[in-house]
């Protein structure tokens, strides 16, 4: 309920821009504000926003590109189809801080070293875009989000005078997926689901600009960034402030995590297969469950790949283990003696598993580590089905 009320407050605040742009005083400041990770999946990567304050004019505002409206018609269907709209909301900075304080998320501020004209340009640009008719934009978690917006608007306003640092770029071929997985604890259902849903676009080497979909790297880019003034290159950050200080919580292994659950599933599957071998009788309902679940997951992958506007879901080789036709074959496996075509099909999906291993080892696409028990179970069960005389 708290988050719903805050969202409605932010959206309402988007209406309340100044009718005419005020002239900022010489004491005004423009800051990049970075927030640490939160507990919810959409908060684990942190957050970025812009702060503009002017003690003479008596205002202190957050310009937040990370707001979405649950009440907007078609919100959930648009989210599934990759057409989710976020908006720029403008509201008092103390509300922004109070929300993060309640969530125990650290907040750091980087005050930019700007001329009076440049501060005014930031203010007018953000005020214009906070108007209701301009506030909405098509969100993309990797290419157009609250963090990339700060990179882009800084370049629009400051043009060639700004140079963001890129010392954060590692010497190896780090990909967008690896950057994501560095921020997201690997053994969570959220991490597993995201890695299953997203395709090979995330497995290409990330450019310095592409790192900046993550707030931590935006912070580093501005920290080492420069701006040209009167022909001289100077640091763009004038000072840094720790507004809120909290320790980040560490995730840990639990038996209800993906690896724990899938290892249990593997153990049960091995026991069932051993029993089937001893009694020479196949457990039909186990095969149905295994094939039907992987088939349904495959249908979801196909939907995201071919029937949505998501840029990051095509070319997803998770379909090699989550093969959509499995959902149909599952019903044939309820029969005591499925026909020979079923065995030919199982030959094919077993080959797919081998191809998946090659794709993983060559780095064409990285898969969730927590999937390993399930992939082992599929390999074991496919082999049993091929060699079983039933």
What pLDDT digit, counting tens, does each position of 63-116 carry? 999 998 766 666 667 766 778 889 999 999 999 999 999 999 999 999 999 999
**What pLDDT is stored for residue 2 in this prediction?**
41
* Low-confidence stretches of the chain (pLDDT beneath 50): 1-6, 8, 14-15, 19
Q: What is the sign of the dihedral through the CA atoms of 361, 367, 372 and 375? A: negative
Tell me, letter by letter, the H, E, C secondary structure of 180-237.
HHHHCCCCCHHHHHHHHHCCHHHHCECCCCHHHHCHHHHHHHHHCCEEEECCEEEECE
Locate 192 and state its tokens: 């597993």
What's the order of all strands across the beta sheet hosting 107-112? 136-138, 85-92, 59-68, 47-54, 29-35, 107-112, 237-244
Distance separating alpha carbons of residues 4 and 25, to the nearest angstrom = 35
Q: CATH assignment of 2-169+208-244?
A: 3.90.1720
Domain with CATH 3.90.1720 in the chain: 2-169+208-244
User: Which residues does 250 contact at the CB level (< 8 Å), separation at least 6?
Assistant: none
Whether the CB-CB separation of 147 and 212 falls below 8 Å is answered with yes
Distance separating alpha carbons of residues 66 and 144, to the nearest angstrom = 10
Distance separating alpha carbons of residues 128 and 58, to the nearest angstrom = 20
Mean pLDDT taken over the chain: 91
User: Which residues does 65 contact at the CB level (< 8 Å), separation at least 6?
Assistant: 48, 49, 86, 87, 88, 137, 145, 146, 149, 150
Distance separating alpha carbons of residues 322 and 197, to the nearest angstrom = 11
Distance separating alpha carbons of residues 286 and 355, to the nearest angstrom = 25
Distance separating alpha carbons of residues 223 and 293, to the nearest angstrom = 47
- 74 φ/ψ angles, rounded to the nearest 5 degrees: 75, 20
Whether the CB-CB separation of 163 and 232 falls below 8 Å is answered with no
Whether the CB-CB separation of 240 and 185 falls below 8 Å is answered with no
Whether the CB-CB separation of 245 and 106 falls below 8 Å is answered with yes
Locate 1 and state its tokens: 């309920």
Burial class (CB in 10 A: 0-12, 13-18, 19+), 135: buried
Q: pLDDT tens across 2-18, in order?
A: 444 445 455 555 445 55
**What pLDDT is stored for residue 70 in this prediction?**
67
**What pLDDT is stored for residue 229 in this prediction?**
94
Query: Shortest CA distance to 239 belongs to which of 60, 110, 50?
Result: 110
- Partners of 235 in beta bridges: 226
User: Alpha carbon 130 to chain centroid distance?
Assistant: 24
**What pLDDT is stored for residue 1 in this prediction?**
33
Whether the CB-CB separation of 34 and 25 falls below 8 Å is answered with no
Q: What is the H or E stretch that residue 98 is in? A: helix 93-102
**What pLDDT is stored for residue 154 in this prediction?**
97
Distance separating alpha carbons of residues 372 and 390, to the nearest angstrom = 28
């Amino acid at each position: 309920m708290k988050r719903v009320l805050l969202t409605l407050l932010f959206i309402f605040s988007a209406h309340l821009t100044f009718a005419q742009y005020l002239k900022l005083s010489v004491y005004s400041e423009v800051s990049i504000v970075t927030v640490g990770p939160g507990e919810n999946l959409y908060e684990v990567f942190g957050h970025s926003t812009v702060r503009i304050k002017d003690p003479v004019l008596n205002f202190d505002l957050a310009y937040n590109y990370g707001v979405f409206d649950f009440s907007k018609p078609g919100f959930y269907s648009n989210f599934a189809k990759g057409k989710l709209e976020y908006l720029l909301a403008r509201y008092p900075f103390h509300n922004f801080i109070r929300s993060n304080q309640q969530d125990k998320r650290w907040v750091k501020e980087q005050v930019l070293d700007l001329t009076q004209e440049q501060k005014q340009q930031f203010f007018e640009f953000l005020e214009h875009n906070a108007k209701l008719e301009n506030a909405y934009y098509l969100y993309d978690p990797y290419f157009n989000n609250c963090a990339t917006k700060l990179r882009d608007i800084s370049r629009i306003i400051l043009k060639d005078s700004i140079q963001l640092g890129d010392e954060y770029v590692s010497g190896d071929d780090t990909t967008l997926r690896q950057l994501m997985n560095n921020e997201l604890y690997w053994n969570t259902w959220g991490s597993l689901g995201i890695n299953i849903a997203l395709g090979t676009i995330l497995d290409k080497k990330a450019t310095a600009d592409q790192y900046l979909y993550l707030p931590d790297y935006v912070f580093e880019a501005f920290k080492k960034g420069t701006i040209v003034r009167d022909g001289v290159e100077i640091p763009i950050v004038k000072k840094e402030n720790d507004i809120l200080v909290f320790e980040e919580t560490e995730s840990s292994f639990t038996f209800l995590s993906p690896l724990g659950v899938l290892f249990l599933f593997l153990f049960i599957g091995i026991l069932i297969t051993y029993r089937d071998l001893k009694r020479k009788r196949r457990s039909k309902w186990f095969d149905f469950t295994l094939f039907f679940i992987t088939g349904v997951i495959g249908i979801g992958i196909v939907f995201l790949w071919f029937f949505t506007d998501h840029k990051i879901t095509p070319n997803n080789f998770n379909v090699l283990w989550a093969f959509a036709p499995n959902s149909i074959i599952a019903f044939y496996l309820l029969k005591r003696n499925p026909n020979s075509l079923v065995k030919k099909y199982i030959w094919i999906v077993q080959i797919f598993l081998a191809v998946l291993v090659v794709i993983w080892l060559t780095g064409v696409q990285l898969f969730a580590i927590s999937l390993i028990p399930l992939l082992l179970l599929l390999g074991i069960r496919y082999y049993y089905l091929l060699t079983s005389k039933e």
